[in-house]
Amino acid sequence: MRKVVLITGASSGVGLALCRRLLEEDHELHLCLACRNMSKAEAVRTALLASHPTAEVSTVQVDVSSLPSVFQASKELKQRFQRFDYVYLNAGIMPNPQLNIKALFCGLFSRKAIHIFSTAEGVLTQSEKITADGLQEVFETNVFGHFILIRELESLLCHSDSPSQLIWTSSRNAVKSNFSLEDIQHSKGQEPYSSSKYAIDLLSVALNRNFNQRGLYSSVACPGTVLTNLTYGIMPPFVWTLIMPIIWLLRFFANAFTLTPYNGTEVLVWLFHQKPESLNPLVKYLSATTGFGSNYVTSKKIDLDEDTAEKFYHNLLELEKDIRVTIQKTKNQS
């Protein structure tokens, strides 16, 4: 029987590279590309089938920053599939990134220079907006939209006889100090991307505590510093041109600079081959690339406590409940 893999954000960057690499690993897969832009998704589908004609590739339209879109996509998926073996929760945004030049240059001449270059900790801020659902855009796109997708697809994911695996695209930029249980959407802060990625780490731990006995496992992974449309927005193109020689040099001292989407997917492909019950739920798995371009996988213990993870999970459940009540009221009034 074909394994079925659902991938959000599959039409570009790491998501697209992942599709290609997974089909190289198993050309009998059924890939379902969950994308916002259907014209791009169909173009990717055509290209994948041309290079891997024995595979099955389908598409579904979903915008994880829109709950109506998530509900509609979930409904379609439940009609078309009986189960998912893997769900890669990869779609994400970093809107309007602003680089703190002063903090960057101060950091370059400190003992934390390589760490700052690898994680952008303390030097990268973003401004965002409120979505049509009344939620912070980064929180809804990176965390809550995916959470609702999982909740809606529980019947396709929970099979104790054969486990399913959730694989989240997290980040080395997930910093504990940027997250607060009192402000889970990070509406009062300036680093929503970092906060959302730490929230993903918390959620993954909580999902394992609540769903492992039902056959659903969750892991978090970081593709490293990959040059995609998301990262190119941080600085003007000419600045990237100037600093690229430095970045290539830093690869000999820091393994986080994977740079290409292909390299970044190393950990995502590695997780595809692991038995989910053998993975450590308190560890983040990381793509790494040596200065000579060799890829490998490493890991790092997540800086969190399980009680906070459980509290965050219940906060999400409460938010979901409130939203469903609001939706029902709106339907009754119409």
Could you give all domains of the chain from N- to C-terminal order, each with its CATH number? 4-332 (3.40.50.720)
Place 16 in a pLDDT band, splitting at 50, 70 and 90: very high
Give the mean pLDDT of 49-74.
97
3-class secondary-structure state, position 23: helix
Please give the structure tokens belonging to residue 121: 């900790």
Which pLDDT value is given to residue 208? 98
Which pLDDT value is given to residue 121? 55
Per-residue pLDDT at 140 exceeds 70: yes
Please identify which of the residues 86, 88, 193, 198 carries the catalytic annotation: 193
Longest dimension (CA), the chain: 63
Lowest mean pLDDT among 2-6, 112-116, 170-174: 112-116
CA-wise closest residue to 286 among 260, 259, 267, 263: 267
What is the reported pTM? Answer: 0.91
Give the mean pLDDT of 146-170.
95
Which pLDDT value is given to residue 114? 55
Give the mean pLDDT of 27-48.
97
Per-residue pLDDT at 107 exceeds 60: no
Place 94 in a pLDDT band, splitting at 50, 70 and 90: confident
Residues 6+ positions from 318 with CB-CB distance below 8 Å? none
Q: Is residue 193 among the annotated active site residues? A: yes
Strands 164-169 and 97-99: unpaired
Phi, psi of 321 (to 5 degrees): -60, -45
Model confidence pLDDT, tens digit, residues 183-214: 999 999 889 999 999 999 999 999 999 999 99
Which pLDDT value is given to residue 202? 98
pLDDT, mean over the chain: 90
Lowest mean pLDDT among 46-50, 156-160, 308-312: 156-160
Return the bridge partners of 248, or none: none
Per-residue pLDDT at 58 exceeds 70: yes
Please give the structure tokens belonging to residue 50: 């041309």
Per-residue pLDDT at 117 exceeds 60: no
Which pLDDT value is given to residue 137? 96
Lowest mean pLDDT among 40-49, 110-119, 239-248: 110-119
Model confidence pLDDT, tens digit, residues 255-289: 898 989 999 999 999 999 999 999 999 999 999 99
